Amino acid sequence: MAEPMRIRATMAGDVADVKVLRNHPMETGLRKDAKTGQLVPAHFIQDVTATINGAAVLNADFGTGISKNPYLGFKVKGPKKGDKVVVNWVDNKGDKNSAEAVIG
C-alpha cells in the first residue's frame, strides 16, 4: 500500500499553503462488491499528522466520509521558505505512509 503521496507547500505572504493528495481506496465497509455481492471490508485513513520543522501543526482524524484518494489542504502562519513539511498517515489496517516537502 505504500503508494506515492503528492505534497506541495508554497508561501503566500507569511502563510504556508500546504496541499496533500494520497491514493487510498477509503472503503467505508458498507459497499458491496459488484461481482461477489460481499461487503468490501472497511479500509480508510484514520489519523493524519503534519509537522513543520518537527513541530506539530495539524492532527486530523478521518471518518469513512472522506472521499477516495483524499485531498487535504491547510495553511500555517510563520514558516519560511526552505522549511520542511512532513505529513504522516495511518489507516485502520495499520498501513502507514509519509511524505515530505520543502516549502517553496
Let me know: does 30 contact 36? Beta carbons within 8 Å: no
SS3 state of residue 51: strand
Distance CA 20, CA 74 (A): 9
Let me know: does 90 contact 43? Beta carbons within 8 Å: no
- The answer to the question of residue 81 lying near other proteins (CB under 8 A) is no
Q: Which is nearer to other proteins, 3 or 31 (CB)?
A: 31
Residues of span 27-46 touching other proteins by CB under 8 A = 28, 30-34, 46
**Choice from 8, 25, 43, 64 touching other proteins (CB under 8 A):** 64
C-alpha cell at 91: 489507516
Q: Where does this chain touch other proteins (CB under 8 A) — which range of 1-9, 53-61, 81-89?
A: 53-61
Binding site for other proteins (CB under 8 A): 15, 19, 28, 30-34, 46-47, 52, 55-68, 70-79, 90, 92-94
